[in-house]
Amino acid sequence: MTPGGGSFWDLVQVASPFAKFILAILAIMSLLSWTIIIDKFLLIARVRSANKGMARYRWSAFEPRALSGESRRYHRSFLARAYMFVHRDIIERGGENALDGELIGREFGRAVAEELNKAERFLPFLATCSSAGPFLGLLGTVWGIITAFQRIGVWGSANIAVVAPGIAEALIATAVGLFTAIPALVAYNFISNWLRKESERAAEFGSDLAYAMDRYSRGHQSQGTRVVP
């Protein structure tokens, strides 16, 4: 059987069952990777401006409740959600005893790490697609070449009508493998780089928070007043 009109679907139809199986795997991988890519880019669009807003906080005017209000304003930010957790579960419940910079910084780090881990969910699948896609495509390519040589052996001829199905099978597998791998690789690198920058920003924010909390606590203790979180 030779390709009909030479379209993509015509080439797929003349492929062997094994090649169709490889193409089906690649198609599923591509669909899942594009779903993850779209989801992550929507997350970036929601979080990016909020994270920048939190990072611009004026530490010279630090006050726990004020920062909590700022966190509610930028509630989509990783930094904001981490601080709201710290303020709710550590500062408000612990009172004056919880106003320790080291403790607050450590708990903030844990909370923001959890937020970043949520953002990284399914990201390894993109790395898998970017690395496995070309190899699956190569497997389909090799199988197509084998099919072409088998047909030459059966028909005793190497004309285009004989080798076309195997060559078409090989080219389709190569193309689909690259189509699966390239977007996944580009998206993985971009999202990983963005998360790395957000992790650095979170570490800087946590250090500033710990220092500001210690300064806030010492200032109120030196005035002999009760610290109100």
- pLDDT tens digits, 75-124: 899 999 999 998 888 877 766 666 777 888 899 999 999 999 999 999 99
Domain spans of the chain, in order of start:
8-223
pLDDT tens track for 45-59? 989 889 888 888 888
Give 112-151 as a DSSP string. HHHHHHHHTTTHHHHHHHHHHHHHHHHHHHHHHHHHHHHH
Q: For all residues of the chain together, what is the average pLDDT? A: 83
Which pTM does this prediction carry?
0.80
- For the chain, what percent of residues have pLDDT higher than 90? 40
pLDDT at 112: 93
- Rounded CA-CA distance 35/32 in Å is 5
Query: Degrees (nearest 5) of the Cα angle 42, 88, 220?
Result: 125
